[in-house]
Structure 1
Amino acid sequence: MLYFTSDLNTYHIEASDGQMGKVQDLYFDDEKWVVRYAVLDVRKWLPTRRILLSPASFTSIDTENQQINVKHDKETVRNSPSIPADATFSSDLEMALTGYYGWSRYWLGGLLWGVEDMPGVNIDDRELEAQEMSNEPQHNLRSEQETGTFRVHANDGKIGEVSDIIIDDIYWKVRCVVVSEARLPAEDKFMPVNAEQIQSVDWLEGDIYINSDLEDLNNRTRYESKEALLKAL
């Protein structure tokens, strides 16, 4: 199933023994554009901590109740490596988290999730052997919320701005960037851009460049709402 990240950012996180908080942000890596962590808002429960969970810990997404169910209980999450609320998420912290929860080290093996295509927690002998020889992750994690303010450019001009991001719940891969085109009428302004078309990103300046010309883009279907766009995919 496909989801807008803006919708998931309103969902609650439900542990096996009760609610922990809400999704605050989603971090994806800038190589394969796959969501690696949900950042939780747990201020009411652990006010000085920042909690990150991999999709490998998710058991289901409950759209009716707007919650993501996870396999851990609260005590397991409470005892996870401590990340202060104002700390930068470093490679050392990421290695500590994957070790604590037993998550697959997705940067190994070449597939979307390391030695597997889908997120999981079963580390096999192949990966353990690779981990012994591995260095720290050679990628950067990017904030979905920050990316949601980026400008989008074709080869020959600006298209518009990021309005939303669409991901799937099987691989947790970014499938589309939804572009809002300010130059179009308000009732017909949303256009999907496949993530595979992204040529480069200036993360510092906030610009996404796609491998297409404005003339080609003008022939694409636009949608009057994001919901209509999602139904068409």
Structure 2
Amino acid sequence: MLMSAKELSGYDVHARDGKIGRVHDLYFDDERLAVRHLVVDTGGWISGRRVLVSPHAVEQLDRDARRLVANLTREQVEKAPGVDTDKPVSRQQEIEHYDYYQYPYYWTGFGLWGSMAYPLAYATPASAAGVAGGYAAEASDGATSDPVQRERLQAERDAADPHLRSAHEVTGYHIEAVDGAIGHLSDLLFEGGSWRIEQLVVDTRNWLPGKHVALDARTLHRVDWGERKLYVNLTREQVKGSPEYAGAPGR
């Protein structure tokens, strides 16, 4: 099931014991192209604070009701480490966030989600229990007895850029094919189980009036954040022949 970043914005977010807030933004990893965090606006519940909710916690996405359910309690969310979502999220902040919830780090291992292809909420019960249980036993506070592992984790803490980008920020970025401009980014489409970004929706209004096309996200090969541009390994002719995007269901 493909979900749209724009569609998800505004969804109500519920914990097991009540509403947390609404989805304000998504943070995605620009290296592996996966949604890593939902930015949830808590409204007046926690003094207007925005919090991060990981796909590890998301148990249900209900398109009809425009809501998602997280395997969390309101108290857990309230006591979670604070993050200023108006600034880039550092790897150290991610580590604190993941350690607090005892999630396995997605940036270690060869899978999209660390040693798994899916976040915990979508993994099989046996594999999820094994990964989460092993993680909790090995690193109750982010530490580990293995010196090699400890050195690697410290290197991760020192990394300046975890490659997290805001979906709101990149919407509107210009997109270049190998032989010229094709339009600007209108939306990101991700798979609702793995949270992997599968397609880039491009507004080609200045070139193909009134048309939006969906491009395979794997064709993205470079991002110039300074110039606010995305580069894809396609020709303009290939883009012209790409499937037209009609919009998310119900929009």
TM-score normalized by structure 2? 0.83
Structure 1 counterpart SS, 2:99 = helix
What corresponds to 1:111 in structure 2? 111
Deviation at 1:222, TM superposition (A): 2.9
What corresponds to 2:21 in structure 1? 21
Deviation at 1:77, TM superposition (A): 0.8
What corresponds to 1:197 in structure 2? 219
Gaps of 5+ in 1: none
1:184 aligns with 2:205: no
- Native 8 Å contact 2:10 2:23 kept in 1: yes
Deviation at 1:216, TM superposition (A): 2.3
1:136 aligns with 2:120: no
Deviation at 1:88, TM superposition (A): 4.5
- Native 8 Å contact 1:167 1:174 kept in 2: yes
The range that moved more, 119-128 or 1-10, is 119-128
What whole-Å deviation, never above 9, does each CA across 1:41-80 have from its counterpart, x for those lacking one? 1131112533101100111101121101001110111111
What whole-Å deviation, never above 9, does each CA across 1:9-44 have from its counterpart, x for those lacking one? 120101111111100100011110100000011131
1:170 aligns with 2:193: yes
- 1:226 partner letter: G
What corresponds to 2:247 in structure 1? 226
- 2:106 partner letter: Y
1:77 and 1:35, CA in 2 relative to 1: closer, same or farther beyond 3 A? same
Structure 2 counterpart SS, 1:32 = coil
What corresponds to 1:74 in structure 2? 74
Structure 2 counterpart SS, 1:201 = strand
- 1:151 partner letter: H
> Identity over aligned residues, as a percent?
31
What corresponds to 1:10 in structure 2? 10
What whole-Å deviation, never above 9, does each CA across 1:59-113 have from its counterpart, x for those lacking one? 1101121101001110111111123565542222111110010111001012100
Number of residue pairs aligned between Structure 1 and Structure 2: 226
Cα separation, 2, equivalents of 1:131 and 1:147: 34
CA RMSD, 1 decimal: 2.2
Cα separation, 2, equivalents of 1:53 and 1:155: 37
Cα separation, 1, equivalents of 2:108 and 2:85: 28
TM-score normalized by structure 1? 0.89
The range that moved more, 70-79 or 42-51, is 42-51
**Higher share of residues assigned helix:** 2
1:150 aligns with 2:173: yes
